[in-house]
Amino acid sequence: MAGTQLGGIVTAQRMSVACTAAQVETADGVLATMEVPTDAVILDVRLTVTDMDSSTGLLIDVGDAAGPATPDDDRFIAAFTGQAAGSIAAAGEGNLLADSEYAYTAASSSRTVQEIEATVNTVATTGVAGTLTLTAIYFRP
């Protein structure tokens, strides 16, 4: 079986943020922003949330906001429920990175970082304060 030789550094970057009920009840609200280098090759993005909606409405996206990539709110994770505590990995079977990694390119930008954001896709019906943890695993050549 052929493989890819990386020959660089693999990094896992993690952040946890406290989210208020008002944040999860705001359309397109940014819940967390993480900066990765513009030459990062994203191997996986993981999202873990506590229950932040006492009803069933809240959906969360993870994508990129600004930088050398064309912004895409759900490039990595689309419409993950924030209604119950749980987690999802973009590289998991059937998810957006399951069959390939995503490479940013610094060549077209003077920026040194790329912003990965967790945003509200669909607002919470009845928001509850909670915690969101975002992890990016990436390779740098």
Write down the domain spans for the chain. 19-140
**Dist CA 91 CA 76 (whole Å):** 9
pTM for this structure?
0.87
d(CA 77, CA 118) in angstroms, rounded, equals: 9
The band of 1, judged by pLDDT with boundaries at 50, 70 and 90, is very low
The residue-averaged pLDDT of 36-58 equals 92
Helix (H) or strand (E) holding 58: none
Task: Give dist(CA 122, CA 27) in Å, integer.
Answer: 7
Residue with tokens 């993950």: 80
Give me the numbers of helices (H) and strands (E) for the chain, helices first please. Answer: 1, 9
Assigned token pair, 30 = 């940014």
